[in-house]
Amino acid sequence: MRPDEHAVLCGQREFKDMMARVPAAVAIVTAVVEGELVGLTATSVCSVSANPATLIVAIDHESRSVHAFRNADRVAVNFLSTGQEDLAELFATRGSDKFAAAEIEFRGALPPRVLGSVAVADCRRHMSHDVADHLLLFLQVESAETGRGAPLVWMDRGFAGVVGEAPWSR
């Protein structure tokens, strides 16, 4: 008998309630796939390694963009700042013309950047893996830039800002 054979898994509601209490960065993830712009709001973004610099993004299989991101070679992860809540909601909405209403830096075949972000990572897709009801994208960071302002976070099923700016030391 394996040690986990009789383990009881946490219920979905209980798990979601727990995770709602944990602040998460809010990012808009963008790509250009077969000439089409794709973008979505993500709060499941995490650093995996600094050497090589790697991020992971989890995308719900129910997202209309999941197939495009599965095939994207390059991806930009734009971490939003406070005051960009409307953009986060726009990119979380199905069927909206997301890129027309946002302040975006278009870069040809490269993924668009969201202006005013506190940080942007330009990435190349390293690999993807399906886990439960999400696609996990492992992204190797080719360039990383930081901006000013306080980061936007998602907590208790709503947006929150971090009070003040982090010091620019280090």
- Residues 28-68 have pLDDT tens digits of 999 999 999 999 999 999 999 999 999 999 999 999 999 99
pLDDT at 169: 43
> What class, spelled out in words, does domain 40-152 have in CATH?
mainly beta
CB 19 within 8 Å of CB 27: no
Domain boundaries in the chain? 40-152
Distance CA 34, CA 133 (A): 25
Tell me the per-residue pLDDT of 83-139, one tens digit each, with 9 for 90 and over.
999 999 999 998 778 998 889 999 888 899 999 999 999 999 999 999 999 999 999
Distance CA 71, CA 161 (A): 33
Evaluate the omega torsion of the peptide bond into residue 52 and state whether it is cis, within 30 degrees of 0: yes
Q: Residue 90's CB: how many other CB atoms inside 10 A?
A: 19
Backbone angles phi, psi at 105, to 5 degrees: -100, 110
